[in-house]
Amino acid sequence: MGVAVIFPGQGTQGPDMGGPWRDHPAWDVVVRAEAALGEPLAPLLGAASVDELARTRDSQLSVLLTSLICWEAARPLVGNPVAFAGHSLGQVTALIAAGVLSLEEGIRLAALRAEATQAAADRNPGKMIALIGADESQAVEVCNAAGDGCWLANDNAPGQVVVAGTPDGIDRATKEAEAAGIRRVVPLRVGGAFHTPLMAEAAEALAGSLAEISLSAPAAPVFSNADARPYSDAEGWRERLAAHLVSPVRWRASAVAMVAETGASAFIEIGFGSMLAALAKRATPGVPVHGIGDPADVSKLASAVGGVGAPPTGDEPPGEEP
């Protein structure tokens, strides 16, 4: 029975998300990350509110670190996954977990990625909206009708698509979506139009940083957000990670492909929250999802047969962050 390991992205952060792990051996991940960046990171994992993680860099590092702590604790129990994948920022987490990036270089790359995207967002302001009840083709029609400054950003699951663009472009897209009868339009609390051409400066900056890091072949194929294809090489990720910043996240297609192409019969979501479990229930109904978000979840995984085949966790609606 094959397991695909999946990691969440920005938008899943929450208060004290790392708190339950402070006395766990896996907390050593934080110690190593702090040494790699030369700064304290533990306070991010004990933030009292989401508002304390409002900065892009803080929110992304908090999500990445919590996921890596969870992976460190769950890894011995997971065995040999048939695939790895991560949503947006989670793709960096997946590459660390799969061994393409070392923990130290992955942490440094994530920090640079966050800084580059925030700088691009500051110079090219943008907004994002979730179109609830829409599919990809409807989202593209909305963007086309809105004119310049609006693009597909995330195809997350059936009925959950995100578009992003300039403030004027998204204002027009909101009106077009309402006129088209799309069930609900939800503005997202994000700092820019991620995964669109407005991130071109960030992609260029990240490409320069990627040229300097070491990459290794993954332990199992890692699925790319941009084309929903599995890759078992190392070097190609230099280009994929940079292009990823200006390309839509094709998460629905990735989830379907992980089941169809690798034989994955269960997902294990590693990290805080259960956004990906909710998306998987829409994109791949019938495929179980087990979540590892705190030490108690690891105990449940240990008591299950390899943690595979456990029932899905959480019944909340699909996440609305990119």
**Residues with active-site annotation:** 88, 195
Question: Comparing C-alpha atoms, which of 213, 191, 190, 199 is closest to residue 243?
Answer: 199
In whole angstroms, give the CA distance from residue 156 to residue 255. Answer: 9
CA distance 277 to 8: 10
Task: Judge whether 314 and 274 are in contact, CB under 8 Å.
Answer: yes
196 SS3 class: coil
Q: Are 34 and 41 in contact, with CB atoms under 8 Å apart?
A: yes
Around 217, how many Cα atoms within 13 Å sit in the side-chain half-sphere?
A: 3
Tokens encoding 68: 């890596």
DSSP tally for the chain: helices H, then strands E: 12, 10
Q: Give the DSSP H/E element, type plus range, for residue 300.
A: helix 295-303
Q: What is d(CA 113, CA 115) in angstroms, rounded to the nearest whole number?
A: 5
Contacts of 200 (CB under 8 A, 6+ apart): 120, 246
| Residues facing 230 on adjacent strands | 223
Pairing of strands 83-86, 2-7: parallel
3-state secondary structure at position 185: strand
Residue 67: C-alpha distances to residues 61, 172, 275 (Å): 10, 36, 13
SS3 string of 18-69?
CHHHCCCHHHHHHHHHHHHHCCCCHHHHCCCCHHHHCCHHHHHHHHHHHHHH
